[in-house]
Amino acid sequence: MAQPIPLRKASRQVIDLTPHIYFLVDTSRQLSVQDLRQSRFQKQFRPNKSARVTYAKSGVVWLKFVLQAEAGTYLLELKESQLADVKFYHPLANGAYHEVKRLNYHQWFLKTSHRLIPVTFFDNEPQTFYLRCYAKGIVRVPLAIGTKEAFIEKNHWEDLFQGAFFGCLVLMLLYNLFIYFRIRDLSYLYYVLYLGAITVYILMVTGHGTEFLWPYNPYLGNYNFVAFSFFWVFMFLFSNHFL
């Protein structure tokens, strides 16, 4: 039996849900949330004892977690950039479940690098939530929950450090591009392309690519392996030419 995770409106802490997740690998890829409520499927859910965020090498995985919160609205952070498809199910007052599908960036509740889904509680009773995740590669699903104020404080520091990091990458890219145009040495061109590929890859993984580059097509983030492949190609060309 999954133990409910207590939430408090006054808390400024973002809670990592990973250690509290129960998961089920759906090999048939045909199960619905109604099927999962049956006892025979409930028994197949396994606790995430290793506190990992990777649940399978590929395919469909169902995640389950139980929350018990003071009345109010909280935010569920879903880092979905590496998933081919994701659906979130939260319970309604009549016992049914409401499905929340993947949306374009401009349809998000709040404009951040990771999707924040509002979850409203009307009483202090435990509620069970489900997440259906599908990935062509590794099924990796970091989840967290907290109040709006907690995420504002958390994202403030994350944006500061990530902005400085991307700023350094872009500065290095432009500097080496300038040198290439001055001396026409292919080593600098390969290094620029290498930096560009790793920058795009990190943008895809962190969700900033969806936020700034392709807000109307979030599925492009699933192809981060393409940028990663170019990263290795240009690194090899740079090393081979430079050495």
d(CA 110, CA 82): 19
The confidence band for 101, taking pLDDT boundaries of 50, 70 and 90, is confident
- Which tens digit of pLDDT belongs to each residue from 206-242? 878 877 777 777 677 777 778 889 999 999 988 888 7
> Cβ contacts of residue 94 below 8 Å, gap of 6+?
none
Q: State residue 217's pLDDT score.
A: 74
Percent of the chain with pLDDT over 70: 94
Q: Which of 98-107, 154-163, 223-232 has the lowest mean pLDDT?
A: 98-107
Instruction: Please provide the CATH number assigned to the domain covering 5-146.
Output: 2.60.40.2380
pLDDT, residue 106, reads 67
pLDDT at position 105: 65
% the chain with pLDDT above 90: 28
Q: What is the pLDDT of residues 164-183, one digit of tens each?
A: 999 999 999 999 999 999 99
Task: Encode burial over 101-129: b for 16+ CB neighbours within 10 A, e otherwise.
Answer: ebeebeebeeebbbbbbebebeeeeebbb
Non-local (6+) Cβ contacts of 147 within 8 A are 9, 11, 12, 72, 74, 75
Confidence of residue 8 (pLDDT cuts 50, 70, 90): confident
Structure token pair of residue 68: 């018990």
Q: Give domain limits for the chain.
A: 5-146, 153-242
Max avg pLDDT among 51-60, 69-78, 94-103 = 69-78
Short-list 24, 25, 71, 63, CA closest to 141: 63
